[in-house]
Structure 1
């Protein structure tokens, strides 16, 4: 048996998000596509499956894999929030988009 349940779950979430975006946003309001949320979960799910593959123990996967899943969650969101750290000069004051 190959451990790929977390990756399949995130891919199913991506497919469900695609159906929701196409049906609810694109057809009705011409809102642009955005698949960032499931795409940021995919590296964490792959690491979780790798931990299960290497340990073959559900308890160690729950402890180590869940910690790695959470540890990778913040760095995979950097691409999403990178624009908010761009410096901008407003009225002579150096600010960022987050300010």
Structure 2
């Protein structure tokens, strides 16, 4: 479901305007809306720490999808290889903010990896 809106925006912007930035534009607006939701609803309203509610970073995946469409010019190859690249780039692009949470936790019975 995460790739459907960027793909639809990419199709519209490529067919109507010949701009290969549809997926990136959609993901940037999605991130803006997600950050507004996280800050206003989780932090200001519920006082939940913002670093626990960080949305997944999809910008490198969207750039890869747009570059695939620009290089191939084919919707089929963009769907096959761009979709594969979208999913393969998701975890490495999020590793920079996920890495601090992969530390040992000190419990009374001993260390625990979580």
Please tell me whether residue 4 in structure 1 is matched to residue 21 in structure 2: yes
- The structure 2 residue matched to 1:47, chosen from 50, 56, 64, is 64
Paired residues in the alignment total 96
TM-score (norm 2): 0.68
Map Cα deviations across residues 53-85 of structure 1 (whole Å, 9 max, x no partner).
100111100000000001101212222331343
**Deviation of 1:94 (Å):** 4.8
The gaps in structure 2 that reach 5 residues or longer are 1-17
Correspondence for 1:36:
54
Correspondence for 1:83:
100
Root-mean-square deviation over aligned CA pairs: 2.4
TM-score (norm 1): 0.76
Structure with more contact order per residue of length (Cα contacts < 8 Å, sep ≥ 6):
1
Map Cα deviations across residues 6-56 of structure 1 (whole Å, 9 max, x no partner).
101111111211332343234323434457325x11110001100001001
